[in-house]
Amino acid sequence: MKKSLVAAALLSCAALAAQADELFVSIHSAGVMAQGAGLVLAGQALEQKVAVRVLLCDAAGDIALQGKEMPALKPRNVTPQQLLQKVMAGGAKVEVCALYLPNSGKQPADLISGVTPAKPADVAAHLMKPGVRTLAF
């Protein structure tokens, strides 16, 4: 049952990516499986040559912290942070929401290389562009 649900989600992402110019993935869940699912789908979209932008907010912002220890997810035994780094290496733009740093007591220097604080006006403008599809986890 779980495998068929994952397969259906991946097929849905494939169909979505085939029709989209860009994919915006918003991850705010503290659940590592939800975080992983969002990042796996972002990776699948990248493989299909779709531009991807990821916004991490609330507890999911912790994925982007240097030295953050996280449980590995089966079946590939990778952490959400490793998945994040893979999508970044594939060309995804990754940001933490504007509220994350000031409300978590963290600074931009605490983030892994390549992750930046989001500018709300830029994110809103991006979301309003034609051809941008969104996923939220």
pLDDT band at 122 (very low <50, low <70, confident <90, very high): very high
Q: Which amino acid, residue 79?
A: T
Residue range 67-72: mean pLDDT, rounded? 96
pLDDT band at 12 (very low <50, low <70, confident <90, very high): low
80 has pLDDT over 50: yes
For residues 113, 108, 28 and 41, what is the CA-based torsion angle, rounded to 10 degrees? -20
Q: How far is Cα 69 from Cα 23, in angstroms, rounded to an integer?
A: 27
pLDDT band at 69 (very low <50, low <70, confident <90, very high): very high
Q: Which helix (H) or strand (E) holds 122?
A: helix 120-128
Task: Give backbone dihedrals phi and psi of 49, rounded to 5 degrees, phi first.
Answer: 65, 30
Task: Give backbone dihedrals phi and psi of 20, rounded to 5 degrees, phi first.
Answer: -105, 145
Q: What's the pLDDT score for residue 3?
A: 52
Q: What is the pLDDT of residues 24-65, one digit of tens each?
A: 999 999 999 999 999 999 999 999 999 999 999 999 999 999
Structural domains of the chain, with CATH: 2-136 (3.40.1260.10)
Q: What's the pLDDT score for residue 109?
A: 98
pTM, two decimals, is: 0.85
Q: Contact at 8 Å (CB) between 39 and 54?
A: yes
Q: What's the pLDDT score for residue 45?
A: 98
DSSP 3-state of 129: coil
Q: What's the pLDDT score for residue 17?
A: 45
Q: What's the pLDDT score for residue 101?
A: 98
